[in-house]
Amino acid sequence: MAKSAKSTISGFIEFLPEQQLVLQEFICRIREAYELHGFSPIETPAVERVDVLTSKGGESAEREIYAISRLLGQQDGADVTDANLALHFDLTVPLARYVASYASQLSFPFRRYQIQKVWRGERAQAGRFREFYQCDIDIIGREQLSLLADAEMPAVIYDVFRSLTIGDFIIRISNRKILRGLLRHYGVDGDTSAASVRVIDKLDRHQQSDWKDVLIAQTTLSPEVVEHLTEFFFSADCSTAETLQWLSAHEAKADGDFALGVEELGAVVKAVGELGVPETHFTIDLRLARGLDYYTGTVFETLLIGYESIGSICSGGRYDDLASFFIDEKLPGVGISIGLTRLMAQLLDKNIVKPRASTPAKVLVTSLDKKHLPEYLNIAKVLRSANISTEVFTEKARLGKQLKYAVRKGIPLVIIAGDQELSEGKVQLKYLTEDFAQKDIEEIPLQEIASRVTEKLRELSLSWNAW
Amino acid sequence: MAKSAKSTISGFIEFLPEQQLVLQEFICRIREAYELHGFSPIETPAVERVDVLTSKGGESAEREIYAISRLLGQQDGADVTDANLALHFDLTVPLARYVASYASQLSFPFRRYQIQKVWRGERAQAGRFREFYQCDIDIIGREQLSLLADAEMPAVIYDVFRSLTIGDFIIRISNRKILRGLLRHYGVDGDTSAASVRVIDKLDRHQQSDWKDVLIAQTTLSPEVVEHLTEFFFSADCSTAETLQWLSAHEAKADGDFALGVEELGAVVKAVGELGVPETHFTIDLRLARGLDYYTGTVFETLLIGYESIGSICSGGRYDDLASFFIDEKLPGVGISIGLTRLMAQLLDKNIVKPRASTPAKVLVTSLDKKHLPEYLNIAKVLRSANISTEVFTEKARLGKQLKYAVRKGIPLVIIAGDQELSEGKVQLKYLTEDFAQKDIEEIPLQEIASRVTEKLRELSLSWNAW
């Protein structure tokens, strides 16, 4: 649990307004980046039929599902299907159901984003939430989907995290076919291969020295194969061009999957660069495995430089078939997901994000004298018409208390107007600096309020927009 | 159920992307208007403890609550309180719990907005949803709260619905104390008074001729009182100033509640005007009762002119005490709520809102030749850098099919570039008109793409932003 966040029920996080403002701004910027790349919003009900949710199988998912039922039992005339409803635990199963339901009304490739909460009845533990936001995009093809769709993912990731300004990041790219082909080349296939991939996925960011020991301890791979693998994973730590060249010359290229994986990876990486992601922000990393069996080709992860221990802040990959349970048509796709609630809790906890204000208001109009209320309300009206978020202090209180209120909420500008100012057609504009120690007063004519405040806010924007 | 909306489970609505884009834009504009007035966002978990949800009492609420439980029963080490959790059915009870929990960390008056889904296990019927968005604002005072807070509500409503551009609207304002005082003046008090208010609330927008009959049939009021009431409700149909004057001279002013209600109403209406709401957009309407016992003073409703049958599109009022169940302190408040899901379904159903596009993309970059992919991707990169939502057509298809794809999704601009154009450093910019019949081709130099597209979109903005 983030130290600055609250929760009344274990696993359900709740933010104070100053934190929620940042979360809200994050959601807006993520949405903007998704829309910039032509993804359309959809939203599915929080509630799905249980048979829909369990369609992909997997006992662990089933154990985490929250079923819903009427607190006081069935009402007269109530829908009997209510008994088989539950909260969605991800946005992928609902997407599959949605695409299958409306296939004839959608245009393919179908590019959708979906930012919603999901619920999982997980065991309560630090950093795990039972309710959390997922911010997903996917591109779904009908029967086929170009590798360019894969290349769009890092381009979107790049725009999202540049916009969030939470620090440097790197997008790691690999292709599952390479690892599968490599293992088969060394005689490892089937269940042993899948199990090894899961171990490699967990090893991922460990030191090279750990790899051999863990692989020998936790898999049934022979020491010889383990030797080949660790050599493979740790010799390719260079530029994407060099890595691709090295892969093309690798002895495992005799394996069809390996060769196809290298070809796909090359095409994706080339297009990622052409879409504008600089070489500094993405890399081929063959250690990246992504444990989910779901992925069949390109896979992605994103690390925040200096905070790699947080784990991936945005992951995803290519899959062969989205909705085979719901529709008799092959729907290949590629997607990524940001686990926003967990990310936000981590950013707050590590002080990477420091909320500055508990209100969107940029101006507080103080009340000195009840008889001037019409003027105060009019000032608020004028500022709001100029699109400046404004609050009027409406309660009875001395000016000192009103200023403290502004300071506490992080409102940078305060307007003060008593008999004298108003009789001269003026107001005082007080600027409460970031540390609230200094205060800066200037008198401005009433008719210039909107323009002067806009100007002042523009001056301040750097320090006040930063978090 | 709106004809243009879909649902897989009775009572759970789901929109197609073109509808969701409008819903999303509505949420953004509502949020902007709320923030313009200095309201801070909060979000509470969808899940609350059952005893919290039922704290305000009311059996009907309890019958509608959806409890949650693990599909496969309790896990080892699971939190036992899970057994007593349920989905919130409104945002007011969670607000009360939130304010009580964090009272020491919040600044009062506490101005919060909250835009979230709520769930009600209602009997399925037309226009009723079991999952729907509520968009609430409230101002909560500590021990006291100025009437100016009440006056802020119509100012926010005015900004919200002007921004949504769904047509003319009128905000109706009254004060519950007036009706209570009036009834007591005529000797009606206690349960009879409360029951009568509920009948009056339902009569509200009926013809004058209905009132007497219904009041006599459905209440225990004497014919004489019914006569007085209908005269009262239907003689005051004039300007706010005239209505206030007429009320101040009314015989019921001997009643303390009546007199106080008239005084409060006068103060609120005056401030509403000063906050910039024009007389054309609000009115005193004494027929407005608001059935909820919860409200104790000012009450609001908003009607869409020409579509009054939809009912109120934004309602609320003043209450004495938000959170007496959770905190030993009096927290008076005032708030309003927009039932967004129902509103959107009605707007779509009545064609007041006509979605135009199923994607935010404004430009489709077509693919004529695989060898030019780097150029196509680069064009997309340039357009996106200029903040223009862009999609690249990534699949193999003839140009005709690509244009049809753009038309179907409502993408207004298409870029076409083959060997010849690119060798001359140019592209074709095709404009697909609203009815998609006409097409307008111009050639533009590659380096002017972003500026020319921006210009073209500005020209088009009126027709394309309209819904």
Closest chain B CA to residue A12: B45
pLDDT at B182: 94
Of A22 and A64, more confident: A22
Buried b or exposed e, range B195-222, using 16+ CB within 10 angstroms: ebbbbbbebbeeeeeebeebbeeebebe
| Structural domains counted in chain B | 2
* Whole-number pLDDT of residue B60: 61
Shared domain check, A338 and A259: no
Q: Which one of A6, A43, A366 would you mutate to disrupt binding with B, by most B Cβ within 10 Å of its Cβ?
A: A43
Site from A44, A395, A402, A454 to mutate, B interface, most B CB atoms within 10 angstroms:
A395
- A418: distance to nearest CA of chain B, Å? 18
Write out pLDDT tens, residues B353-392: 989 899 999 999 999 999 999 999 999 999 999 999 999 9
For residues B217 and B204, what is the distance between their CA atoms, to the nearest angstrom?
16
pLDDT for position B107: 94
The answer on A151 and A11 residing in a single domain is yes
Residue B458: exposure state from Cβ atoms within 10 A (0-12, 13-18, ≥19):
exposed
pLDDT in tens, B76-90: 444 444 568 999 999
Residue spans of alpha helices (H) in B37-124: 50-53, 59-64, 92-102
Percent of residues, chain B, with pLDDT higher than 90: 70
Q: What is the CATH number of the domain that holds B77?
A: 3.30.930.10
pLDDT band, very low/low/confident/very high, at A440 (cuts 50, 70, 90): confident
pLDDT, residue B199, reads 87
Whether residue B325 is found in the same domain as residue B408: no
The residue among A46, A45, A41, A19 whose CA lies nearest residue A30 is A41
Could you tell me if B457 and B329 lie in one domain? no
Query: What's the mean pLDDT in B26-42?
Result: 98
Residues B371, B414 share a domain:
yes
3-class SS of residue A201 = helix
In this predicted structure, what is the pLDDT of residue A101? 94
Contacts of B312 (CB under 8 A, 6+ apart): B301, B302, B303
Q: Tell me how many degrees the CA angle A198-A204-A206 measures, rounded to the nearest 5.
A: 130
Please count the other Cβ atoms lying within 10 Å of the Cβ belonging to residue A79.
Answer: 16
What is the distance in angstroms between the Cα of A44 and the nearest Cα belonging to chain B? 6
B117 shares its domain with B73? yes
> What's the average model confidence in pLDDT over B38-62?
86
Backbone angles phi, psi at B441, to 5 degrees: -115, 135
Instruction: Report the pLDDT value the prediction gives residue B333, as an integer from 0 to 100.
Output: 97
Q: What is the pLDDT of residues A144-194, one digit of tens each?
A: 999 999 999 999 999 999 999 999 999 999 999 999 999 999 999 888 888
Does residue A80 lie within any of the structural domains?
yes
Residue B181 lies in a domain: yes
Identify whether B354 is part of a domain: no
- Residue B309 within any structural domain of the chain: yes
Note whether B105 and B189 are same-domain residues. yes
* pLDDT band at B4; cut points 50, 70, 90: very low
| Phi and psi angles of residue A20, each rounded to the nearest 5 degrees, phi first | -60, -35
- Yes or no: say if B11 and B131 are a contact pair by the CB < 8 Å rule: yes
Q: CA A223 → CA A229, B133, B389, distances in Å?
A: 10, 58, 52
Look at B17 and A145 and tell me if their CB atoms are within 8 Å. no
Helix segments in B350-467, DSSP class H: 373-385, 399-409, 419-423, 449-465
**The predicted structure's pLDDT at residue B364:** 97
Which of A213, A245, A238, A237 has the alpha carbon at shortest distance from A227?
A213
* Alpha-helix runs per DSSP H in B284-415: 340-349, 373-385, 399-409
Predicted confidence at residue A236, as pLDDT, reads: 63
Helix, strand and coil in chain A, % to nearest 5:
45, 20, 35
Judge if ipTM > 0.90: yes
Please write the tens of the pLDDT for every residue from A54-97: 887 665 667 789 999 888 765 544 444 456 899 999 999 999 99
d(CA B415, CA B383): 11
Over residues A301-347, the pLDDT tens digits come to 999 999 999 999 999 999 998 888 888 899 999 999 999 999 999 99
Angle among Cα B443, B444, B449 to the nearest 5 degrees reads 140
Q: Which of B349, B384, B400 is the last residue of a domain?
A: B349
A383 burial via Cβ count (<10 Å: 0-12, 13-18, 19+): buried
CA distance B457 to B239: 44
pLDDT for the residue numbered A259: 97
Count of residues in chain B? 467
B226-273: pLDDT as tens digits: 999 888 888 766 889 999 999 999 999 999 999 999 999 999 999 999
pLDDT value at residue B289: 82
How do beta strands A47-49 and A66-70 pair?
unpaired
What's the residue count for chain A?
467
Q: In this structure, what token pair is assigned to residue A50? A: 């249980």
Q: Smallest Cβ distance to A49: which of B9, B117, B373?
A: B9
Using CB atoms, pick whichever of B6, B40, B79 lies closest to residue A358.
B40
Residue B452 pLDDT? 95
Which of B37, B66, B102 comes nearest A384 by C-beta? B37
Domain identity same for B377 and B345? no
Mean pLDDT of A394-421: 93
Instruction: Output the pTM of the full model.
Output: 0.94
A24 and A153 fall within a common domain: yes
Structure tokens at B211: 């009132």
* B357 occurs within a structural domain: no
| pLDDT at residue A58 in the model | 62
Rounded to an integer, what distance in angstroms lies between the CA atom of residue A272 and that of residue A266? 10
> What is d(CA A171, CA A282) in angstroms, rounded to the nearest whole number?
4
CA gap A38, B413 in Å, rounded: 13
Burial class, A27, CB count within 10 angstroms (exposed 0-12 / middle 13-18 / buried 19+):
middle
Nearest to B46 by CA among B74, B1, B85: B85
What is the mean pLDDT of the segment spanning B133-137? 98
Q: Residue A278 and residue A201: Cα distance in Å, rounded?
A: 26
Given A43, A47, A378, which is nearest B15 (Cβ)?
A43
pLDDT digits (tens, 9 = 90+) for B396-408: 999 999 999 999 9
Token pair listed for B160: 């919200």
What's B35-61 look like in SS3?
HHCCCEECCCCCEEEHHHHCCCCCHHH
Residue A434: what pLDDT?
A: 58
Q: Contact B361/A38, CB-based, under 8 Å?
A: yes
Instruction: Report CB contact under 8 Å: A67, B69.
Output: yes
pLDDT at A460: 80
Q: Which whole-number Å values give the CA distances from B388 to A7, A395, B16, B163, B358, in the listed order?
A: 40, 45, 23, 23, 16
Lowest mean pLDDT among A21-30, A38-47, A194-203, A367-376: A194-203
Q: Of B268, B284, B30, B274, give the one whose Cα is nearest residue B170.
A: B284
Q: Are strands A363-365 and A315-319 parallel, antiparallel or unpaired?
A: unpaired
Expressed in angstroms, the distance from the first to the final Cα of chain A is 20
How far the first Cα of chain B sits from its last, in Å, is: 21
- Which residues of chain B does A36 touch, with a Cβ-Cβ cutoff of 8 Å? 384, 387-390
Which residue, among A371, A452, A367, A437, has the nearest Cα to A407 in the 3D structure? A437
Sign of the Cα torsion A160, A161, A163, A166 reads positive
What does the mean pLDDT of chain A come to? 89
Which residue is it, tokens 């129902």? B342
Say if residue A237's pLDDT is above 80. Answer: no
Tell me, yes or no, whether A346 and A373 share the same domain: no
Minimum mean pLDDT among A135-139, A348-352, A430-434, B274-278: which range? A430-434
* Chosen domain end from B324, B349, B374: B349
Q: Are A6 and B102 within 8 A, CB to CB?
A: yes
pLDDT of residue A466: 47
Are B390 and B288 in the same domain? no
Q: Which residues on A lie below 8 Å from B43 (Cβ)?
A: 14-15, 20, 23
CATH code (residue A401): 3.40.50.800
Contact A46 B109 (CB under 8 A): no
In angstroms, the separation between the Cα of residue A288 and the nearest Cα of chain B is: 26
Domain boundary pick from B323, B349, B375 = B349
Instruction: Write down the mean pLDDT value for chain B.
Output: 89
pLDDT of A464 reads 39
CA–CA separation, A334 and A297 (whole Å): 9
Contact B70 A71 (CB under 8 A): no
Q: Quick one: CA torsion of A205, A210, A213, A216, rounded to 10 degrees?
A: 10
Q: What is the extent of the structural domain holding B189?
A: 6-349
8 Å CB contact between B12 and A81: no
Residue A23 lies in a domain: yes
Name the more confident of A146 and A461. Answer: A146
Contact at CB, A20 and B40, closer than 8 angstroms: yes
Closest-CA distance, A59 to chain B, in angstroms, reads 10
Chain B residues touching residue A38 (CB < 8 angstroms): 359-361, 389-391
- Smallest Cα distance from A85 to chain B, Å: 9
Q: Do the bridges between strand B439-445 and strand B426-432 make them parallel or antiparallel, or are there none, so unpaired?
A: antiparallel
Same domain, B217 and B172: yes
Q: Is the dihedral of CA B159, B163, B168, B169 positive or negative?
A: negative
Q: Which residue in the set A40, A102, A119 is minimally distant from B21, CB to CB?
A: A40
Whether A295 maps to a domain, the answer reads no
Size of interface A-B (CB pairs under 8 A): 291
Comparing CB atoms, the residue among A8, A64, A152 nearest residue B101 is A8
Q: Nearest Cα to B200, choosing from B184, B176, B224, B235? A: B176
- For residues A37 and A467, which has the higher predicted lDDT (pLDDT)? A37
Rounded Cα distance between A202 and A215, Å, is: 11
B64 close to B122: Cβ distance less than 8 angstroms:
yes
Radius of gyration for chain A, computed over Cα atoms and rounded to the nearest angstrom: 28
Could you tell me if residue A299 is inside a domain?
Answer: no
Mean per-residue pLDDT for A348-355?
92
Q: Rounded to an integer, what distance in angstroms lies between the CA atom of residue B342 and that of residue B127?
A: 7
Write down the pLDDT at residue A60. 61
